[in-house]
């Protein structure tokens, strides 16, 4: 079941086509990665989802209904650029923003206090935003995004400015929000974070979708039939027409299977030569490798 569907979305700025036939769906209660190089169309797509911009054509379905201004209250958007009022104090600003999202004064104060304590920044409640570090401002902006318990949370580079400890803290909070029913769209350039937390992705380049699907399916789609082997003893003798060595990295040897050979064929060949196998794994490409390859191909 999808909470959000974009169907044939286009958007043009004067003579520049920012989006062309963008179509994808975001499963409910998932962490969904929206990827793409700078200028790919990610921000325009997010602004259409959040009703900041209107598409020239196509439709957006949110929670089984055509997207409308009424849906804004059910969304939380954390842009890459920090959008806080720098001279306002942390607590009064968060309460003010929570009330803009429809919370009563009492509920806003209660939830803001809860989140300040949860993220271990309660002692900063009376500080002005411009007195905080970039990482601390990012945590405050995260609270402003989720304080009203939105159904859809859109996070654009949420780990920007955070040290490893606070990155792990926010990552855990994202997973907890998902477990409690929220859907998260996660936009970033850091592929290792996408592999770690996202279930599905869409890759946009030059306003078009280049790739879309479950992370594990995407990685399997681009695998190159390469296996890593760790063994003890003498190096095996292999017919390079069938099993060509790719490279060696310490104890690991990487071998590509050719001519329709299977992993079992390789294992059988090794065992027949009395090779003591310590590890045998298929090598899947990283999302970073796939990202670079697909963007490069798209440019060409």
Tell me the per-residue pLDDT of 273-293, one tens digit each, with 9 for 90 and over: 888 888 989 888 888 888 888
pLDDT-derived band at 92 (thresholds 50, 70, 90) equals very high
Q: Is this structure's pTM higher than 0.95?
A: no
Cα separation, 172 vs 162, in Å, equals 14
Cα separation, 103 vs 92, in Å, equals 14
- Residues 32, 178 contacting (CB under 8 angstroms): no
Per cent of the chain over pLDDT 90 is 46
Average pLDDT in the 251-255 region?
84
Is 300 a residue whose pLDDT tops 70? Answer: no
Cα separation, 170 vs 137, in Å, equals 13
Mean pLDDT in the chain?
89
Long-range contacts of 270-276 (CB under 8 A, 24+ apart): 270/229, 270/231, 270/236, 273/236, 273/237, 274/233, 275/231, 275/233, 275/236, 276/231, 276/232, 276/233
Average pLDDT in the 176-204 region?
89
Query: Which token pair is 208?
Result: 């078009």
Cα separation, 22 vs 203, in Å, equals 11
Q: What is the pLDDT of residue 15?
A: 84
Choice among 54-63, 148-157, 169-178, 259-268 with the minimum mean pLDDT: 259-268
Tell me the per-residue pLDDT of 144-188, one tens digit each, with 9 for 90 and over: 999 999 999 999 988 888 888 988 999 999 999 999 999 999 988
Q: What is the pLDDT of residue 45?
A: 94
156 forms bridges with which residues in the sheet?
187
Is 247 a residue whose pLDDT tops 80? Answer: no
Q: Are strands 183-187 and 31-35 parallel, antiparallel or unpaired?
A: parallel
Is 189 a residue whose pLDDT tops 80? Answer: no
Residue 233 CA, distance from chain mean position: 42
Label residues 137-169 b or e (16+ Cβ within 10 Å = b).
bbbbbbbbbbbbebbbbbbbbbbbbbeeebbeb
CB-side neighbour CA atoms (13 Å) of 49: 29
**300 burial level (CB within 10 Å; 0-12, 13-18, 19+):** exposed
pLDDT-derived band at 7 (thresholds 50, 70, 90) equals very high
């Amino acid at each position: 079941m999808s909470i959000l569907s974009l169907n044939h979305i286009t958007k043009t700025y004067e003579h520049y086509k920012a989006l062309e036939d963008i179509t994808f769906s975001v499963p409910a209660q998932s962490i969904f990665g929206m990827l793409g190089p700078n200028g790919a169309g990610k921000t325009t797509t997010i602004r259409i989802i959040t009703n900041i911009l209107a598409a020239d054509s196509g439709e957006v379905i949110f929670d089984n209904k055509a997207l409308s201004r009424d849906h804004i209250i059910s969304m939380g958007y954390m842009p890459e650029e920090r959008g806080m009022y720098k001279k306002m104090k942390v607590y009064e600003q968060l309460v003010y923003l929570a009330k803009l999202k429809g919370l009563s004064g009492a509920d806003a104060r209660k939830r803001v206090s809860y989140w300040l304590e949860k993220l271990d920044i309660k002692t900063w409640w009376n500080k002005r935003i411009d007195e905080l570090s970039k990482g601390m401002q990012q945590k405050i902006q995260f609270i402003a995004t989720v304080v009203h318990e939105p159904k859809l949370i859109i996070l654009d580079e949420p780990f920007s400015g955070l040290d490893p400890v606070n990155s792990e803290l926010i990552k855990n909070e994202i997973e907890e929000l998902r477990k409690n029913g929220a859907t998260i769209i996660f936009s970033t350039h850091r592929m290792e974070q996408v592999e770690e937390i996202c279930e599905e992705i869409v890759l946009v380049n030059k306003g078009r979708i280049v790739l879309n699907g479950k992370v594990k399916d995407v990685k399997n789609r681009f695998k190159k039939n390469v296996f890593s082997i760790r063994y003890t003893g003498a190096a095996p003798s292999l017919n390079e027409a069938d099993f060509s060595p790719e490279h060696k990295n310490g104890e690991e040897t990487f071998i590509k299977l050719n001519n329709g050979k299977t992993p079992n064929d390789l294992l059988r060949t090794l065992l027949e030569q009395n090779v003591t196998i310590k590890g045998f794994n298929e090598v899947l490409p990283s999302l970073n490798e796939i990202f670079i390859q697909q963007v490069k191909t798209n440019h060409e």
